[in-house]
Structure 1
């Protein structure tokens, strides 16, 4: 098998590909021959040592894998060789040609859902599915503002919110990203200039929900543009700057700030079984066309470092997947 190795926290371009014997699946687990693995902004943070979870070195990045069962360990009877499956790995290790995973965390991929589409959608759509089932409500007619609308989380947020009947206002930094946001369902696409005023004008007075995976100065502007009872959802800080949100603006008009950390939930409260159920639902909705993730860009595993730099610098539109 082949896998990407991070030997020291720092520059993603220092990642290496090594070869080693393919493992046998232990009891209760399956060996998956990986077809596609999703690349995320978080992967780059982990490689740089900037994420709250720091795996012991050396390690292999990546969590969201799609492939086919190559072998099943003792006690696994429901996942035969050749079954198309997806899994979220709790201890990283996804940038590899083969991975082992507990059978309870592995979910069959519905017929008609391409491996690269499933791998590219998993993290972003799981995050949004977790948000809308465990953290916030999005109702028909709500005005939902999505910051960072050209990225993976942003694209999933637009798709999920518009599918729930919301009126989506996308915010992105370039014309290409704004066009991509409108292509997946945003009714309006804005830049970051005069954000509070632009959001209020586009929503007829204020947003009901703000999805913010960006952070930085845009966060406070979007918070100030919330309507009465509005929900401001903190997803992450792709800008690299953690905002200091003024509590008085939260107090005014009964606004709410909500943290959305799907990764923590999947490791702790939800656990592998809860996360597998959420993943099965996401993949089923993709298969039925309820969720409509865009075709991701693809790259060979040897280009993992270059792709992580591209995603980390917010130059990518949509998602990337690696093909081992």
Structure 2
């Protein structure tokens, strides 16, 4: 069971930027009432399209941006006014890394570790994340995935209680992604509160205990993965996918309980609470349209389906 006291609490967060131009002087509201809570021993995922406000929310939560209104409590304190004592309890992995390009990975890790009173063992962390294989290579020469692993190590070296990860799997190859995911699960088991953003919804579905979805600067829905991927009656949707010729005319209101999308040219998704009659009806539709699908898969409703529903991209 989670600790009843949240490690991070955000309420009614508002943040304006601007003005966009000197001519109109208008500010742009990028956050408009965001709320979220993150607990120790949980992975909390923040999802949303580009421009939804994910990174700005994290920056306010970390104390890097001052909100116009609303409250942020990080480990019980306002992070914007916090001193070194609070910051030493928080690890941050920025989307762009923030790594000095002329430094070398192992030397940088030792330098960062020296700033903390009780850091994690550098050699152990470097070995776990595969950093030893490029320990003396200049950071500017590293691949994107290598920089990501080094940025994660820098965020962890101080042995934090709260860990912010902005797109932690970006640029990682499959092997590196597996290593990072295993480490995140271990950190959760150790009791860390982990708050992450990702545009890879499959990653969020695998890692997250609780999910917040932002749209145009607002928290539009939140819950566990199981809650978000179930319908109002608590039944899990099924997601049927098939491939056929691009531009296939979709059946519209013939299946009122189902949602049809052409996700990519020639790739189709049908979401809803399927019945045997629905499947028989789909077969008749294919027959009437003269379509023989190239492949058919069926699986429970996913976070991607939830995200697309919220984004208003349904095709009926």
TM-score (normalizing by structure 1): 0.23
TM-score w.r.t. the length of structure 2 is 0.23
User: Which entry has the higher C-alpha Rg, 1 or 2?
Assistant: 2
